[in-house]
Amino acid sequence: MSLRIYNTITRRKEEFKPLQAGIVKMYVCGVTVYDYCHLGHGRAYVVWDMVRRYLQTKYQVTYVQNITDIDDKILKRSQERGTTMQAIADQYIATYNEDMAKLNIQPADAYPRATESISEIIKLIEQLIKGGYAYAAGGDVYYAVQKFPNYGKLSGRKLEDMQSGASGRVDELEEYKRYPFDFALWKSAKPNEPFWASPWGDGRPGWHIECSAMVRSRLGETIDIHAGGADLQFPHHENEIAQSEAAYAKPLAKYWMHNGFVNIDGEKMSKSLHNFKTIRDLLCHFEPMAIRLFILQAQYRQPIDFTEEAIKAATKGWETIRDAMLFAKDFGAKLGWTDLALPSRETVQAAIVGFEEAMDDDFNTSVALSYVFELAKKLCSERNSLLHSGSTDKDTDVLYQKWQALSYMTNVLGFVADSPTQDPDNDESVINDSEIEVLIQQRREAKQSKNYGESDRLRNLLKAQGITLIDQKDGTTRWIRD
Ligand SMILES: Nc1ncnc2c1ncn2[C@@H]1O[C@H](COP(=O)(O)OP(=O)(O)OP(=O)(O)O)[C@@H](O)[C@H]1O
Ligand SMILES: [Zn+2]
C-alpha cells in the first residue's frame, strides 16, 4: 500500500505523490510567541514531527515552521511587562525550544520570523495591489476577498453565507475596510507600537501575509504539504491561499493537513479560555515520552480529551515500551547480540508490514501503536523471565528480530528510551531565576484581574518545583528555594 493522506481541500484521502520525485517540502504554521506552550500546542508539533519522521523514511523532507513574532497579543504582553516585543518573543522562543526538545521534536530546517521577513512581505503586498487584489487606505492595506473567485475553497465557506450570518460590524481599528471580510495585509502604526517603513507609511504586517511570504521565500510557489491546527483552516489558511494564489497563479500547497484539538471538558484547550495545562507544568509530573504517547494514541485528526488519568494511563503504556526498547541495552550482551544500532528499513521490512499499513492510512498512529505494544509486551515478558530466572527459553535470534522491529517503529514515532544524562549544575529541569520571575509576574497579573484560581495554580506550580513564595506588605513577592 502507498501512503494516503486526508487532504482538507478535497475532503478525502488521496494517494501521496510529491511534486518532485523523492523530495517533500512541508510548511507548518508556528506559534505566536507570548507565553508558554500548552498541551494543545504540544499535540500540534508532536503530530507534525511524527508526519515528518514517517515521510523521512521514504523521502528527503524539508520542514519549515514560522515564528509569529509580531502580533497584538505579543504587543500587549510587552506593554504589561514594560519591555519590548522582541524581548517577549525571544523569551518564549527559548521556552518553546526547550519544551519541544523534551518531547523529542526534531528542530525545523528553518524557523523564519515575521520580523525578519518584512521586505518579502512588502514585496508580496505590492504585487497584490498591482494585481487588483488589495487596496491601500488610510495607511492600512486590505485584501479584497471578493476579487478572489476561489475564496472559501479550503474551508468550504461561501462569502454570501458568511455575510448573511455576520452582524456586519467592522473592527473599529479597521475603519478603512471596504467589505467586512476583507482582511489587513498591513496595519498603520499606532502610538507606542513597533513599526517598519513601507510604501504605505510606517506600520506592521497582518498575520496571514507572513506565512504566504515565508512559504514563497523558503520553499517556493507550490509546496507539497501545508499543515496546522484545525482552527487555522479559516481564516488563516483560507487567506494564505487567497494571497499566494492571487500573486503567483499557482496552487499554494498540494496537500492541506489539519490536526484535531486537545480539549478539556469538551472545549478547545486555549490560552484565552484559561483552561490550559502548560507542557512545563505537565513535565513536573509526567515523563515527556508518556505525554508523547498520550498524543499519538489518537489518530491526528481526532479530538483528544485531556484528563490527568489519561496521561497516567499513558505513563504505564510508556513504561512497557521503554523497558522493551531498553531490552538490548539491558540483556543484549548476555544474549550475545553484537549489533545494537538502529536497524535499516530493509532489515525489518517483513516485520513492520502492519505498522506501515497503519501509517500509510493517513498516519493512523492509534493502530500503528498496537503493533508496537504487541512486540513490547512480548519483550517485557522475556525481560521478566531474564530478571527472575536469569535465562530465557526463547530463540534469541527471534527475540533480536522483535527488538529490531520495535526499535525501528519507536524511532519513526519519535520515542527515546534513555533519559538524557543530566549535568546537575546545568539541569534544565530545574526552574531558573528568570522563569520564576516570569511566573511571579503572571501570578501578579492573575491576582490583579481577580483570577484567584490561576494565581493559586501558579503558586502551586512553583511549590511543586521547590519554590516558596512570600508575599510582602508592599505588594511585591519574594521567593526562596526549598
Ligand atoms: N487545543 C489545541 N489542540 C490542538 N492544537 C492546538 C490547540 N491550541 C492551539 N493549537 C495549534 O497550535 C498551533 C500554534 O498556535 P498559536 O500559537 O496560534 O496559538 P493559539 O491557537 O492562538 O492558541 P490559544 O488559543 O491557546 O491562544 C496552531 O497550529 C494551533 O492550531
Ligand atoms: Zn501560517
**482 residues of the chain, pLDDT tens digit each:** 799 999 999 999 999 999 999 999 999 999 999 999 999 999 999 999 999 999 999 999 999 999 999 999 999 999 999 999 999 999 999 999 999 999 999 999 999 999 999 999 999 999 999 999 999 999 999 999 999 999 999 999 988 888 755 554 445 567 789 999 999 999 999 998 999 999 999 999 999 999 999 999 999 999 999 999 999 999 999 999 999 999 999 999 999 999 999 999 999 999 989 999 999 999 999 999 999 999 999 999 999 999 999 999 999 999 999 999 999 999 999 999 999 999 999 999 999 999 999 999 999 999 999 999 999 999 999 999 898 888 888 899 999 999 999 999 999 999 999 754 444 344 555 777 767 877 888 888 888 888 888 888 889 888 888 888 888 877 788 887 77
**Whole-number Å distance between alpha carbons of 203 and 92:** 24
- The pLDDT value given to residue 165: 52
Domain end call among 273, 300, 330: 273
Q: What CATH number has the domain bearing residue 322?
A: 1.20.120.640
Max intra-chain CA distance, the chain:
81
Q: How far is the CA of 29 from the centre of ligand 2 (A)?
A: 4
Look at residue 82 and give its three-state secondary structure.
coil
- 8 and 92 housed in the same domain: yes
Look at residue 476 and give its three-state secondary structure.
coil
- 129 and 37 housed in the same domain: yes
Helix axes 396-412, 353-360, angle to 10 degrees: 10
Q: Name the strand (E) or helix (H) holding 140.
A: strand 140-143
**Whole-number Å distance between alpha carbons of 115 and 69:** 6
- 130 and 249 housed in the same domain: yes
Look at residue 321 and give its three-state secondary structure.
helix
**Whole-number Å distance between alpha carbons of 300 and 167:** 34
Residues enclosing ligand 1, CB less than 6 A? 29, 31-32, 40-41, 43-44, 228-229, 231-232, 259, 261-262, 268-272
Q: What is the pTM of this model?
A: 0.87
- 24 and 168 housed in the same domain: yes
- 236 and 374 housed in the same domain: no
Which ligand is the nearest neighbour of the Cα of 30?
Answer: 1
The answer as to whether 42 is a domain residue is: yes
The answer as to whether 308 is a domain residue is: no
Structural domains in the chain (count): 3
- 397 and 471 housed in the same domain: no
**Whole-number Å distance between alpha carbons of 214 and 111:** 10
The answer as to whether 301 is a domain residue is: no
- The pLDDT value given to residue 420: 42
The answer as to whether 19 is a domain residue is: yes
Q: HSE-up of 298 (CA within 13 Å, CB side)? A: 21
Q: Is the CB of residue 66 less than 8 Å from the CB of residue 210?
A: yes
Question: Whole domain around residue 403: which residue ranges?
Answer: 313-413
- 153 and 260 housed in the same domain: yes
- The pLDDT value given to residue 60: 98
Q: How far is the CA of 124 from the centre of ligand 1 (A)?
A: 26
- The pLDDT value given to residue 230: 98
**Whole-number Å distance between alpha carbons of 141 and 132:** 12
CA–CA distances in Å: residue 294 to residues 48, 164, 262, 286, 369 = 15, 41, 11, 11, 11
The answer as to whether 288 is a domain residue is: no
Q: Which residue, by CA, sits nearest to atom 30 of ligand 1? A: 229
The answer as to whether 293 is a domain residue is: no
| C-alpha cell, 65 | 515552521
Burial class (CB in 10 A: 0-12, 13-18, 19+), 84: middle
Q: What CATH number has the domain bearing residue 174?
A: 3.40.50.620
Which ligand is the nearest neighbour of the Cα of 252?
Answer: 2
Which of 264, 358, 263 is closest to 302 using CA atoms? 263
Domain end call among 252, 273, 294: 273
Q: Quick one: which atom of ligand 1 is closest to the CA of 31?
A: 17
- 327 and 437 housed in the same domain: no
Which of 378, 417, 418 is closest to 399 using CA atoms? 378
| C-alpha cell, 479 | 521567593
What secondary structure, in 3-state letters, does 354-419 show?
A: HHHHHHHECCCHHHHHHHHHHHHHHHHHHHHHHHHHCCCCCCHHHHHHHHHHHHHHHHHCCCCCCC
The answer as to whether 464 is a domain residue is: yes
Q: How far is the CA of 92 from the centre of ligand 1 (A)?
A: 15
- 259 and 338 housed in the same domain: no
- 174 and 63 housed in the same domain: yes
- 383 and 438 housed in the same domain: no
* DSSP β-ladder status, 183-188 and 140-143: antiparallel
- 442 and 317 housed in the same domain: no
